[in-house]
Amino acid sequence: MAEVAFLGLGVMGAPMAGHLKNKGGHAVTVYNRTFAKAEAWVAKHGGAAARTPKEAAAGKDFVFACVGNDDDLRAVTIGPDGAFQAMKPGSIFVDNTTASAEVARELHAAAKARGIAFIDAPVSGGQAGAENGVLTVMCGGDAEPFAKAEPVIMAFARACRLLGPSGAGQLAKMMNQICIAGLVQGLSEAVHFGKRAGLDVEAVLEVISKGAAGSWQMENRGKTMVAGKFDFGFAVDWMRKDLDICLAEARRNGAHLPVTALVDQFYSEVQKMGGNRWDTSSLVARLDK
């Protein structure tokens, strides 16, 4: 059993923290900007609630975070009440936020200067993956702290791998989002085409999902796309944030991402339709309007 803090109790963070407490058997202290959420989590799972990241992190072996963006991450780490102010020497900060590789490297260096470790460890699998404890975790950082953190991370994961030095986890997550963007657009076009052709689209998807066209998106979002249901999963606003990170990194490293850039613009159209909080599969809605 480890002493663990978890910072950020959104749709991903709350169940992840729950698995650390209940499946992992760790002593967990939680922090959330809205303290009532932290109190509600403790009422459900046990553990303790803290009013600041600094308070949550004091004396802990591991501090996890799953927050919104680079600025949120800086606030809970190096801010005046940030976790780095209180973490003990040798402790490990595991960042499950989808953020930039730049901020990962920045915080890795800041942590090292304080005698603590930082692992960028973004996740894939969505809300369902978090709730079921089957996330895929892509990590960047140093080998020794990763080896210590991996067994703890596995409380909410089915796969966890160190992919390189600091920032590598975030770069891997960018690859993940680039793949998803193209897949969802292709699936959206297929569903739209099938409807226009007068086919039983659900029946077609059931058949082609068993062949080379099959994907997680087809299996899990195909039927709901046909039905026009987008009230679950990963929101368009968050996908646009992630794609912005991908495109910014591509400008730095010279990669060409024409499809990703195009799909990002398609998502902006969905936002203009009022779909900011719709699931990412709502790309089909702009074709059917």
Phi-psi region of 28 (alpha: psi -120 to 50; beta: other; left: phi over 0): beta
| CA distance linking residue 230 with residue 220, whole number of Å | 12
Q: Give the contacts of 157 (CB within 8 A, at least 6 positions apart).
A: 123, 133, 134, 135, 136, 137
Would you give the distance in Å from CA 143 to the centre of its chain? 22
Catalytic residue from among 173, 195, 229, 272: 173
| CA distance linking residue 64 with residue 184, whole number of Å | 30
Asked about 173 being catalytic, the answer comes back as yes
Would you give the distance in Å from CA 31 to the centre of its chain? 18
Residue appearing with tokens 């991370």: 153
Would you give the distance in Å from CA 272 to the centre of its chain? 24
Do the beta carbons of residue 195 and residue 201 sit within 8 Å?
yes
* Tokens found for residue 272: 């203009």
Give the pairing of strands 123-124 and 135-139: antiparallel
Catalytic residues: 173
